Structure 1
Amino acid sequence: MQAAYLAPAITLFHEDGTLDLESQGKLFDNLIEKGIDGILVEGSSSEFFAMPMEQRSIMAKFAIERINHRVKLIIGTSSMVAQQIIDFSNECLDAGADAVMILPPYYFHFGAEALLQYYDRLAREIHGPIYIYNFPDNTGYTIPPATVLQLAQMHSNIVGFKDTISGMDHTRELIKLIKPLIPSFEIYSGFDDNFAHNVLSGGNGCIGALSNVVPEVCTAWVRAFRENNLDGIAAGQQSIDRLMDLYAIRSPFLPVIKETARLRGICTTSAGTFPMPNATVEDDARILELLGRENIL
């Protein structure tokens, strides 16, 4: 059975807020070496929302050069300024990115007609593949499946969808509505523990942040699906279900993912963008307990 696990890469910084590109390259290489199917740069796990455009551009160019088509590379180009999205998306695609991913406008809630107009304009002016990104916990509203189908039928460069919703109801509706009409349209879940449900429902897999720190667990799960190994599929689900406790250690969860990466030797600091809190000694103890429980060093 076909399945894919993509990593929404964290962005690694020095304590002074500059990009730690040495650690970033190490993170990318580790993900690829462990067998991850693709990498999303500047998604929600990346702290793009607190990065100046100049820094985002540097990060995108570095990712394109370092990943160098070894796996699929998607770059998040979300912004509240439509022209900025268009310009940045085309810059990334021209430089060699495989696709871009775009959130709907946030702050205000937009209905189906406004969303149709929004993505219609973006798709007409961006000359490459686009993934739509649905994250209602952070944007305040969800994109209707019927609107996604309309957009996919209108624009061949709208090629997929990331659905970051804790349950599977909305994702299942997307799969049921779109896949019979456009089988090539890719539908990913945004939470790691929905991976199996997504694939079994006819979706493509997930783009989950745990892959930053336990890529070997994620790729073993993918292999189990590809080999129709039911015991391996069950073992992967149960392991990820337990590792989901990492998300609950602190809110927002990003400092914990970064601190886990530091504890695993992937980066030298877990510094984030202000006002993102730092992980604490107590957080470290809980992280190490979780990793130890899964026999992960």
Structure 2
Amino acid sequence: MNASYITPALTLFRPDGMFDFDSQGRLYEHLIRGGVDGILVQGSIGEFFALTTERRRTLAEFSIRSIGHRVKTIIGTASMLPEEIVPFSNQCLKWGADAVMIVPPYYFRMEGEALERFYDNLLERIHGPVYLYNFPDRTGYTIPPSLVLKLASRHSNLAGIKDTISGMDHTRELITVVKSAFPNFEVYSGFDENAAHNVLAGGDGCIGGLSNVVPELCAAWAQAMRSDDLPGIAAGQQTIDRLMSIYAVSPLFIPIIKEAARLRGFVSSGTCTFPMEEASKEQSEQILAILRREGVSLAEK
């Protein structure tokens, strides 16, 4: 089976709010050594929404250079303004990114012909592979498979989609409708626990946040899928299902994932963009208990 595990990487900051490039570089090294198949920079968990355009360019250039083509590198270039998306996307591709990823406009529902025009406009002007990012919990609406099929039929640079929906109904329809016509179109689930279901249904794997914390487990699970190792797939599913309780520690999951990565020694600080606060002591203890329960190695104190 075809299966990839891509990490939507955390963006790391010093306590003063400036980028912590030392920790950021170490995180990328941990992910690559852990065996993930790719890294998405400036996804939702990467806090792109709270960064200025200038800071986003700085982070993108650093990340592309640091990852250095060792794994697939995708840069999230979403914005409410197409005239920001296009030059940013093309610059990232020029710097060496393998692709860019773009979530649709948020705040107002942008469906039907308006959404079609939005993506047509971008795909015509971006000179490289583009992934769509469907996240209805954040945009307020979904990208329908029928529209994805239309776009794929018109734009050869439309590479795939990240489908961040808790169930598999919409993702399964994407696989059935789009991949049946365009077999190389990539469909990824956005929740870790859906990775195996996605692959078994004919999709391409997962772009899931838990891989910031346990890249070695996620990579081993993907390898089990590629090897048709049913016991390994089942064991990985059960482990990831239990680790998903990390997300239940708080609905605002970015500080929680950062704290989990800090407890493993991958990053130095759990600082987030304002107004998000770091995980509390109580939340940290809950995360620690989950990691210990699963036998995950922790940083030495």
TM-score interval, normalised by the smaller of the two chains: over 0.9
Q: Deviations over 1:96-121 (max 9, x none)?
A: 10000000010000112111110000
**1:162 corresponding residue in structure 2:** 162
Give the aligned partner of residue 193 of structure 2. Answer: 193
Q: Distance in 2 between matches of 1:226 and 1:158?
A: 24
The corresponding residue for 1:112 is: 112
The whole-number CA distance in structure 1 between the counterparts of 2:32 and 2:267 is 16
Return the offset for 1:169.
0.4
C-alpha distance after superposition, 1:216-259 (max 9, x if no partner):
11011011112211111000000000000011101210001001
Alpha-carbon distance in 2 for matches of 1:112, 1:145:
12
Aligned length: 297
Unpaired runs of 5+ residues, structure 2, are none
Q: Is the 8 A contact 1:112 1:143 kept in 2?
A: no
Note the 1:33-112 alignment, pairs <5 A.
33-112=33-112
Gaps of 5+ in 1: none
Structure 1 residue 94, shift from structure 2 partner: 0.7
- SS of residue paired to 1:267: coil
1:180 to partner: Cα distance = 1.2
Instruction: For 1:278 and 1:68, locate their aligned partners in 2 and report how far apart those are by CA, in whole Å.
Output: 30
Contact 1:255 / 1:278 at 8 angstroms: preserved in 2?
Answer: yes
Is this contact kept in 2: 1:42–1:75, CA < 8 A?
Answer: yes
Distance in 2 between the 1:2 and 1:132 partners? 20
Q: Distance in 1 between matches of 2:277 and 2:146?
A: 38
**Given the two structures, how large is their TM-score scaled by the length of structure 2?**
0.98
State the partner residue of 1:204. Answer: 204
Hey, what's the Cα distance between the residues in 1 that align with 2:223 and 2:43? 25
Trace 1:1-297 onto structure 2 (pairs within 5 A).
1-297=1-297
Distance in 2 (CA, whole Å) between partners of 1:227 and 1:85 is: 38
Distance in 1, matches of 2:168 and 2:227, equals: 24
TM-score (norm 1): 0.99
3-state SS of 1:75 partner: strand
What is the rounded CA distance, in whole Å, between the counterparts of 1:234 and 1:24 in structure 2?
32
Residues 160 and 186 of structure 1 are in contact (CA less than 8 Å); yes or no, is this contact kept in structure 2? yes
Deviation, 1:56, is: 0.6
Where 1:22 maps in the other structure, the secondary structure is helix
Amino acid at match of 1:174: L
In the TM superposition, residue 279 of structure 1 has moved relative to its aligned partner by 0.4
Counterpart of 2:264, as a letter, is R
Q: 1:277 Cα deviation (Å)?
A: 2.2
What per-residue deviation string (whole Å, max 9, x for no partner) do you get for residues 162-207 of structure 1?
A: 0000000000000000111100000000000000110000000010
In 1: Cα distance, 2:165 partner to 2:251 partner: 17
Counterpart AA for 1:296: V
Q: Which amino acid aligns with 1:246?
A: I
Kept in 2: contact 1:107–1:139 (CA 8 A): yes
Aligned letter for 1:39? Answer: I
Amino acid at match of 2:198: N
Distance 2:22 2:106 in 1: 33
Moved over 2 A (4+): none
Shift of 1:267: 1.0
Same amino acid, percent of matched pairs:
60
Contact 1:80 1:106 in 2 (8 A): yes
